[in-house]
Structure 1
């Protein structure tokens, strides 16, 4: 079971609001299956329908467990591109949707299966 600190989820929502109408994207850091921080990857490109992570610059850091990105449309279901990225970047992934509140997010496994994420 995965959990996320409420303050971390609030930070994700605020960063997503700041990036609107573009998508926001970052990597997730966790310890003992508790997501406690996001990590911004230098060189990330945020567009209105995409986030492009420069995968070659991800540091070797075993606390990175997946990704988070926003969907300005409000839809929190993964696209085919999202599913491809999930499969390469860790066991847990979060998509947050407009209007970016604590009720509008979904979590997924690397295979794209829904994942229950408890807020601590």
Structure 2
């Protein structure tokens, strides 16, 4: 039993999301353009020891959006190991993830942006709905 714990014990990392400033600006601009509908984007980057670095975005193919929803069929995405999560907007209401957001979690992190889409209106969450520290680099 001790050997099992040594071999398979996972180290807990405090997650942090690092967004490049140009990526943040692109997210905010896209949300403003799509308002009053929700929007969805895929985050590209890499993760190491709990630090998720986002350096790019992808507009998902065949995305569907409305005033209270945004999504995409993941089966149409090309295989790409650099997908680390998604970002979507909340044109009305709080930035906290809804039950639907958590049920459709994709990747390592989910980012929500609330209106009016300024630098302080962006938040990161894990698959349980817990806040993740967000750093702009």
TM-score normalised by L of structure 2: 0.82
Question: In the aligned structure 2, how far is the partner of 1:102 from the partner of 1:18?
Answer: 16
Which of 40, 51, 58 aligns to 1:39? It is: 58
RMSD across aligned C-alpha pairs, in angstroms? 1.1
After TM superposition, what 4+ stretches of structure 1 lie above 4 angstroms from structure 2?
Answer: none
Q: Which residue does 1:60 correspond to in 2? A: 79
Task: Give 1:58 deviation, angstroms.
Answer: 1.8
Write the mapping of 1:1-120 to structure 2, written as runs, cut at 5 A: 1-32=16-47, 33-86=52-105, 89-120=106-137
Question: In the aligned structure 2, how far is the partner of 1:74 from the partner of 1:117?
Answer: 20
Partner deviation per Cα, 1:29-79 (whole Å, 9 max, x = no partner): 013421011111110011110002112112211100110000001521111
Larger Rg: 2
More deviation, 21-30/106-115: 106-115
Q: Which residue does 2:11 correspond to in 1? A: none
TM-score normalised by L of structure 1: 0.93
